[in-house]
Amino acid sequence: MTDETVRFGVLGSMFEAMVRDRSAAKKRKRFRTLLDRVYTGRDYFSAVRLILPGLDRERGSYGLKESALAAALVDALGLAKDSPDALRLINWRKGGARSGANAGNFALVAAEVLQRRQGMASGGLTIKELNDALDQIASKENRAEKTAVLASLIKKTNAQEMKWILMIILKDLKLGISEKSIFHEFHPDAEDLFNVTCDLKLVCEKLKDRSQRHKRQDIEVGKAVRPQLAMRVGDAATAWRKLHGKHVVVECKFDGDRIQIHKNGEEIHFFSRNFLDHPEYEHGMSNIILQNITVERCILDGEMLVWDTSTQRFAEFGSNQEIAKAAREGLESDRQLCYVAFDILYVGDTSVIHQSLTERLDLLRKVVKPLKGRLEILTPNGGLNDRRLQGEPCWSLVAYTVEDVERFFKETIENRDEGIVLKDLGSKWEPGDRSGKWLKLKPDYIHAGADLDVLVIGLFFVAQFLVGLAVRSDSTSYPNRFVSFCRVGTGLSDEELDALITKLKPYFRKNEYPKKVPPFYEVTNNSKERPDVWIDSPDKSVILSITSDIRTIKSEVFAAPYSLRFPRIHRVRYDKPWHECLDVQSFVDLVHSSNGN
């Protein structure tokens, strides 16, 4: 057999068997057999890229997530849009037949549908043909062209093979074997080499001979490096214990795109977490990098964010691509891309990942000239930290006690969002590592299904709302008393916030002296929790869906018996009438049931 003739069915059968295997050792053995018996001496990459599709960057993105794949399959199979099978595909989350046993797994739902249409016999598709077809899907712009390729694949496969092809396109095979095990079985140095090059093809070509060890390679400018990642911990005390005796820096966890900037003279690359280059950032950023980086060659690690020049704040996550597009088209905007560098991996002709974080942060300060709202550096001194607005909490701080961490966490969440990252200042930067040199701490948000629908009863001029819970006397009449519950400000975009304030403005009741509370609201004597304005009457107000950390706190400040830690507005419920807001008793029951009482 030549490379041209190895059938994809061989891989499909191996996948099926791996799913059934109970132990990782058995799964590994099957992979070894494939390499030794079927693939020996061949182009390993053509098979390995199908086994680790998430690591294959040669053909970029397919532009087909489940919903687009469902629509494409409906067309490729020539199904009527309202036929039961088409609906099954489109509603894959709810499941296919057999009481929805496959619900939520698109490829399994698709296999059910395909089984009824494709024969059992394989059409003899080869691995080479499959790779060519996948190249085509990735390179075609519109869905009709992608659909035509899918249709040709359906002709050459059976349902089982097609199921695996769909999983390859979705880049998740669910084989129950880790990428680490696959790498180790392939070659003892495969994972290390991949981590510093992010190049699966190179790994497969260089490490063909398992008995030949490969000299450890360092990172290079121009080749994406697998990013160091953070391990999640539950609370500040656990984080502190894990980093016992170490020098620790705590940093704000920015919510943007993790981007590595590789500068080689005039050539600049922006690599994202999945190793892809993002040329769309060039327009807004390349000149700034060239003018403000003092060395010829370097690699920066950091987060790409959006800075709003009118509010002098970072904008909410999600607008990066839009801003990049606007910059490319030369459109005027208050918003611009801003890169926050939190680490440096390469300087001049040398990799610096083996130096300590303290040393790297020193280098970062030497190499990067910060430019406000454009190119920032995150270190305990200098850059962003020195230029924060008055009264703003800091972005990065050396912590000496667990209380320092607690305070930093609280302030960061109350003022910004996401969470914090703790780093050992003595540690190296390790490609692909998530073993705990970086720890992340985020509030444990109740998932969206358990949002609490509360009523706005007042407003603070710092764009925060005082929200309340209803006190129900009986189930038939509308509530006429509301107890203050918590203060919440984060979660809405500037536009959403403006719209909400505009809607409530006609009902603001200016506070009189002495601060008089409208009769339907119950608050404590704590004057800090008196809003700047009350909402005139509850029936004019609006419900907010809020979420929060799962740990509620006993409230000494608000009138309700419990309050929320790190509350966050999930959305404004203009659609929900004011009298359907959550009541105190239901909330107390909820707290007790989630505490297991």
Q: In terms of CB distance, is 229 or 550 closer to ligand ATP? A: 229
421 binds ligand ATP (CB under 6 A): yes
529 binds ligand ATP (CB under 6 A): no
230 binds ligand ATP (CB under 6 A): yes
From the number of C-beta atoms within 10 Å of its C-beta (0-12, 13-18, 19+), residue 334 rates as exposed
270 binds ligand ATP (CB under 6 A): no
Taking residues 284 to 303 in sequence order and writing x for each that binds ligand ATP by CB under 6 A, - otherwise, the string is -------------------x
Q: In terms of CB distance, is 126 or 379 closer to ligand ATP? A: 379
> Long-range contacts for 76-83 (Cβ within 8 Å, ≥24 apart)?
76/147, 76/148, 76/150, 76/151, 76/154, 77/113, 77/114, 77/117, 77/151, 77/154
Cis, peptide link before residue 443, omega less than 30° from 0: no
Nearest approach in angstroms of CB 228 to ligand ATP is: 8
Q: Which of 146, 163, 253, 423 is catalytic?
A: 253
Query: Which tokens in the block code for residue 148?
Result: 């035509």
Nearest approach in angstroms of CB 153 to ligand ATP is: 32
Q: Is 246 helix (H, G, I), strand (E, B) or coil?
A: coil
**What is the DSSP track for 427-480?**
PPP-TT--SSSEEEE---BPPGGG-EEEEEEEEETTTEEEEEEEE-S-SSSPP-
Q: In terms of CB distance, is 21 or 255 closer to ligand ATP? A: 255
Q: Are 109 and 96 in contact (CB under 8 A)?
A: yes
Nearest approach in angstroms of CB 92 to ligand ATP is: 24
Q: Where are the alpha helices (DSSP H) in 293-429?
A: 320-328, 357-367, 383-386, 402-415
Nearest approach in angstroms of CB 253 to ligand ATP is: 4
Question: CA 83 to CA 266: how far, in whole Å?
Answer: 56
171 binds ligand ATP (CB under 6 A): no
Q: In terms of CB distance, is 12 or 227 closer to ligand ATP? A: 227
Radius of gyration of the chain (CA): 28
By CB under 6 A, name the one of 440, 481, 503, 551 that touches ligand ATP: 440
Nearest approach in angstroms of CB 342 to ligand ATP is: 4
| Span interacting with ligand ATP, options 110-118, 246-254, 448-456, 472-480, rule CB under 6 A | 246-254
Q: In terms of CB distance, is 126 or 412 closer to ligand ATP? A: 412
Q: In terms of CB distance, is 164 or 254 closer to ligand ATP? A: 254
| Known active-site residue 246 | no
From the number of C-beta atoms within 10 Å of its C-beta (0-12, 13-18, 19+), residue 424 rates as buried
481 binds ligand ATP (CB under 6 A): no
In 489-556, which ranges are E strands?
A: 508-510, 521-522, 533-535, 543-547, 553-554
Nearest approach in angstroms of CB 39 to ligand ATP is: 33
342 binds ligand ATP (CB under 6 A): yes
| Span interacting with ligand ATP, options 235-243, 248-256, 363-371, 500-508, rule CB under 6 A | 248-256
Strand partners, 304: 257, 339
Query: Which tokens in the block code for residue 180?
Result: 């680490």
Nearest approach in angstroms of CB 339 to ligand ATP is: 12
Q: Are 542 and 419 in contact (CB under 8 A)?
A: no
- Between the CA of residue 431 and those of 200, 227, 437, what are the distances in Å? 15, 5, 12
Nearest approach in angstroms of CB 308 to ligand ATP is: 18
Q: Which residue has the tokens 């005027």?
A: 332
339 binds ligand ATP (CB under 6 A): no
Q: Which residue has the tokens 């089984």?
A: 115
By CB under 6 A, name the one of 52, 71, 229, 471 that touches ligand ATP: 229
Residues in the chain: 597
Categorise residue 569: left if φ over 0, alpha if ψ from -120 to 50, beta otherwise: beta
| Span interacting with ligand ATP, options 30-38, 129-137, 170-178, 253-261, rule CB under 6 A | 253-261
Question: CA 392 to CA 389: how far, in whole Å?
Answer: 5
253 binds ligand ATP (CB under 6 A): yes
Q: In terms of CB distance, is 251 or 451 closer to ligand ATP? A: 251
Q: In terms of CB distance, is 191 or 376 closer to ligand ATP? A: 376
- Nearest Cα to Cα of residue 567 among 586, 593, 587, 539: 587
Q: In terms of CB distance, is 254 or 408 closer to ligand ATP? A: 254
| Span interacting with ligand ATP, options 136-144, 223-231, 405-413, 553-561, rule CB under 6 A | 223-231
According to DSSP, the β-strands at 438-441 and 543-547 are unpaired
Q: In terms of CB distance, is 435 or 586 closer to ligand ATP? A: 435
341 binds ligand ATP (CB under 6 A): no
Taking residues 51 to 70 in sequence order and writing x for each that binds ligand ATP by CB under 6 A, - otherwise, the string is --------------------
Q: Sign of dihedral through CA atoms 431, 436, 441, 444?
A: positive
| Span interacting with ligand ATP, options 222-230, 324-332, 462-470, 517-525, rule CB under 6 A | 222-230
Residues 348-407 that bind ligand ATP (CB under 6 A): 378
485 binds ligand ATP (CB under 6 A): no
Active site residues: 253
Which residues of the chain form contacts with ligand ATP (CB under 6 A)? Answer: 227, 229-230, 251, 253-254, 258, 303, 342, 378, 421, 440
